[in-house]
Amino acid sequence: MDKPSTQTPRAEELSIRTPARTQPGKQTPAKRLSGPTALAALAGVAAAAVVLSVAELIGAFFTARATPVIALGSTFIDFTPPWMKDFAIATFGTNDKLALFVGMAVTILLLACVLGIVAYRKWALGVLGVLLMGAVIVGSVVTRASVKPLDAIPTLIGTAAGLIVLRFLITRLWRMRQWPDMEAGLAAKDPERPATSRRAFFAATGVTAAASAIAATGGRLLSAARSNVAQARDSLQLPAPAKPAAAVPAGVQSKTPGVTPWLTPNNDFYRIDTALSVPEINVQDWELRVHGLVDREVRLNFQDLLDAQLIESHVSLTCVSNPVAGNLAGNAKWLGMPIRDVLKMAGIKDGADMVLSTSIDGFSASTPLEVLQDDRDAMLAIGMNGQALPLEHGYPVRMVVPGLYGFVSATKWVVDLEVTRFADSKAYWTQRGWSERGPIKTMARVEVPKSFAKVPAGRVAIGGTAWAQTRGITKVEVQIDGGPWTEAVLSTELSVVTWRQWSFDWEATPGPHYIKARATDGTGEVQTEKRADPVPDGASGWQSLMVTVE
Ligand SMILES: Nc1nc2c(c(=O)[nH]1)N[C@H]1C(S)=C(S)[C@@H](COP(=O)(O)O)O[C@H]1N2
Ligand SMILES: [Mo]
């Protein structure tokens, strides 16, 4: 009696839509919404919710990055072409991950509806659908970096649970089809008819939904409770540097009120990465392997770093995805071990020209070897602004390389350095259409006034930040309404690897006005006017904004 009927879908809908009471053709849209197809779709959604939530709950006991939702999202990110990454960051900024989750939820919801309908019409196809869903999730779980095959277990159990729930719900629907009076909510005429109804179906679906929500929330809370990496980070004591940072002179901050703080607090530091779930690494487990074209492989643990001759310095980081006038840049004081020293321990073989650094979650960056060896003090950083690295910024160890965009240098949660050649390996974003090298382009940003601001006539303070890491900023010029370029007042420079702020006094007359700014770097080169998109190696062009003076 649980067998699906062999009627064609068309006939089957007819047989159900003509219960004794209802006249064909007189159905309201509301009625059709709760027809068998809609109910089957609902069953599909409930089953998918069970697959994901059960896996999420059991996943709390496995690697956090390997729970289905996180693994699926991460896989999606890995397949993101450069234009889409650029679009996502341009549109959603640092909310790009939230946008991804919303997109995923909608996609899963639609697929689950299809799954339910297919299962109702042909059970074998429904089974296939659930197994396919399980297979896709398992596939994306086990292909994550540093994930063990056993991490597939939560998904396997979730898939089995989803299949059972789908069978249970679809069976209720088949019964309704066999007894149309039941579907219509009429009293049973046929004594054979089991006591089930549309109401019972909704009750079962409701219970499933509630149980899924509880399981998913429970899984989340359990994972959080089981992780003590955040506490360990909070109580980590940083050693004093052998070479402390140069003292910050007075006057680094722009005199114009409202300009970004010269030193970016950790909480305000921009965050860009492919990690949907921040990797949680215990310092006891952390190890860096240095290998490839080296005389001897080197393995460093966290204690080795604490014991090393650490240096401290202010370095401004910049993201290649930062548009002209964008804020994907920050300036912090970093504490770490010079990468130069680590490479010396390993000994570099002839022919190497690149170091491929890889994070625990599979991101990688290709950094020119000479940049890691010269006196710009590229480091394996463990401290940021006097604290251990925040989890989102790479705890316990990340790379900080002055002068290069983050995507080719600033590997967070770094665990592997392979000394190699540009000709032999490609980094994460290079494989996805971005460039293999990424020196930071000279950029002047106007922060005050804001674009389209209304300002009172008279003396108006213009101000902002400029950067050209490793070359330094020697001049910022401002142009009003296409007039002459006039030099702004530069704030004090700390070093060529930190950004430099500026301010400019403008006698503003009423009406609309256009402000432009450009910087000159330490080599004397003026920032290019030529507009370029962030893809493939960073945006360029002069920022231009309109303000209204009243
Ligand atoms: N592991 C890992 N490290 C990473 C990335 C990443 O996706 N994964 N993104 C890089 C990019 S593109 C940038 S701009 C910087 C940003 O560092 P922040 O988030 O600390 O500002 O990190 C770099 N390091
Ligand atoms: Mo970036």
Q: What's the rounded mean pLDDT across residues 512-517?
A: 98
Closest by Cα among 243, 220, 272, 342 to 95: 272
Torsion of the alpha carbons at 499, 504, 510 and 515, rounded to the nearest 10: -40
Contact between residue 68 and residue 152 where contact means Cβ atoms under 8 Å apart: no
Condensed to tens digits (0 to 9), the pLDDT of residues 431-451 reads 999 999 999 999 999 999 999
Distance 104 CA to ligand 2 centre (A): 23
CA distance 127 to 122: 9
CB-based burial, 49-85: b 16+ in 10 Å, e otherwise: bbbbbbbbbbbbebbbbbbbbbbbbbbbbbebebeeb
Helix (H) or strand (E) holding 233: helix 229-234
- Residue 449 sits in a domain whose CATH number is 2.60.40.650
Residue 144 C-beta-side C-alpha neighbours within 13 Å: 35
pLDDT > 70 in the chain, percent: 91
Residue 252 domain flag? no
> What's the pTM value of the predicted model, to 2 decimals?
0.86
pLDDT above 90: residue 1: no
By most ligand atoms within 8 Å of CB, the mutation choice from 80, 412, 415, 432 for ligand 1 is: 412
Residue 112 domain flag? yes
Distance 509 CA to ligand 2 centre (A): 40
By most ligand atoms within 8 Å of CB, the mutation choice from 144, 146, 264, 272 for ligand 1 is: 272
The reply to whether 413 and 450 lie within a common domain is: no
User: Which pLDDT value is given to residue 13?
Assistant: 38
pLDDT above 70: residue 410: yes
The reply to whether 120 and 187 lie within a common domain is: yes
Residue 256 is encoded by which pair of tokens? 């114009």
Mean pLDDT in the chain? 91
Residue 137 Cβ contacting ligand 1 at under 6 Å: no
From 383, 401, 432, the end of a domain falls on: 432
Condensed to tens digits (0 to 9), the pLDDT of residues 312-358 reads 999 999 999 999 999 999 999 999 999 999 999 999 999 999 999 99
Ligand 1 atom at minimum distance from 270 CA: 21
Residue 374 domain flag? yes
Q: Which amino acid is at 425?
A: S
Ligand 1 atom at minimum distance from 361 CA: 1
The reply to whether 164 and 298 lie within a common domain is: no
DSSP notation for 13-31: HHHHH--SSSPTT---HHH
Q: Which residues pair with 532 in a beta bridge?
A: 540
Residue 117 Cβ contacting ligand 1 at under 6 Å: no
- Residue 294 sits in a domain whose CATH number is 3.90.420.10
DSSP notation for 264-325: PPGGGS----S-SS-----TTT-EEEEEESBSS-EEEEHHHHHHS--EEEEEEEE-TTPPTT
Closest by Cα among 199, 96, 222, 75 to 144: 75
Distance 497 CA to ligand 2 centre (A): 17
Distance 521 CA to ligand 2 centre (A): 22
The reply to whether 410 and 490 lie within a common domain is: no
User: Which pLDDT value is given to residue 336?
Assistant: 98
Distance 486 CA to ligand 2 centre (A): 32
User: Which pLDDT value is given to residue 79?
Assistant: 86
Condensed to tens digits (0 to 9), the pLDDT of residues 84-115 reads 888 888 888 878 888 899 999 999 999 999 99
The reply to whether 157 and 197 lie within a common domain is: yes
Condensed to tens digits (0 to 9), the pLDDT of residues 213-263 reads 999 999 989 988 888 899 999 999 999 999 999 999 999 999 999 999 999
Distance 381 CA to ligand 1 centre (A): 13
Band (9; pLDDT cuts 50, 70, 90)? very low
The residue whose C-alpha atom lies closest to atom 8 belonging to ligand 1 is: 273
Residue 273 Cβ contacting ligand 1 at under 6 Å: yes
Sign of CA dihedral 501, 504, 508, 511: negative
Condensed to tens digits (0 to 9), the pLDDT of residues 457-497 reads 999 999 999 999 999 999 999 999 999 999 999 999 999 99
The reply to whether 479 and 535 lie within a common domain is: yes
The reply to whether 66 and 215 lie within a common domain is: yes
Q: Which amino acid is at 276?
A: L
Residue 106 domain flag? yes
Residue 408 Cβ contacting ligand 1 at under 6 Å: no
User: Which pLDDT value is given to residue 86?
Assistant: 83
Q: What's the rounded mean pLDDT across residues 499-524?
A: 98
pLDDT above 70: residue 181: no
Residue 3 domain flag? no
Q: What's the rounded mean pLDDT across residues 158-174?
A: 95
Distance 161 CA to ligand 1 centre (A): 38
CA distance 120 to 117: 5
- Compute CA distances 503 → 460, 488, 510, whole Å: 10, 6, 21
Distance 452 CA to ligand 2 centre (A): 28
Residue 379 domain flag? yes
User: Which pLDDT value is given to residue 198?
Assistant: 81
Distance 371 CA to ligand 2 centre (A): 18
pLDDT above 60: residue 31: no
Residue 74 Cβ contacting ligand 1 at under 6 Å: no
By most ligand atoms within 8 Å of CB, the mutation choice from 273, 321, 408 for ligand 1 is: 273
Residue 410 Cβ contacting ligand 1 at under 6 Å: yes
The reply to whether 283 and 363 lie within a common domain is: yes
Q: Which amino acid is at 513?
A: H
CA distance 527 to 530: 9
Task: Starting from the CA of residue 320, give the closest ligand.
Answer: 2
Q: What's the rounded mean pLDDT across residues 188-201?
A: 68
From 226, 250, 283, the end of a domain falls on: 226
Ligand 1 atom at minimum distance from 393 CA: 20
Distance 1 CA to ligand 2 centre (A): 59
The residue whose C-alpha atom lies closest to atom 4 belonging to ligand 1 is: 411
User: Which pLDDT value is given to residue 17?
Assistant: 38
Residue 407 Cβ contacting ligand 1 at under 6 Å: yes
Task: Starting from the CA of residue 381, give the closest ligand.
Answer: 1
Distance 272 CA to ligand 2 centre (A): 6
Q: How many domains does the chain have?
A: 3
Question: In this structure, how many other beta carbons lie within 10 angstroms of the beta carbon of residue 128?
Answer: 14
Sign of CA dihedral 227, 228, 232, 234: positive
The reply to whether 222 and 352 lie within a common domain is: no
Residue 525 domain flag? yes
**Token match 């690149």: residue?**
354
pLDDT above 90: residue 528: yes
From 432, 467, 492, the end of a domain falls on: 432
Contact between residue 254 and residue 95 where contact means Cβ atoms under 8 Å apart: no
The reply to whether 412 and 448 lie within a common domain is: no
Contact between residue 448 and residue 259 where contact means Cβ atoms under 8 Å apart: yes
For residue 425, the SS3 value is: coil
The residue whose C-alpha atom lies closest to atom 24 belonging to ligand 1 is: 411
Distance 420 CA to ligand 1 centre (A): 21
The whole domain housing 530 covers: 443-549
The reply to whether 423 and 487 lie within a common domain is: no
Q: What's the rounded mean pLDDT across residues 145-167?
A: 95
The residue whose C-alpha atom lies closest to atom 12 belonging to ligand 1 is: 407
The reply to whether 385 and 409 lie within a common domain is: yes
- Compute CA distances 80 → 77, 94, 398, 428, 431, whole Å: 5, 16, 24, 11, 11
Residue 215 domain flag? yes
Task: Starting from the CA of residue 78, give the closest ligand.
Answer: 1
Q: At what angle do helices 36-59 and 123-142 cross, to 10 degrees?
A: 30
CA distance 320 to 335: 23
Looking at residue 412, the DSSP 8-state letter turns out to be S
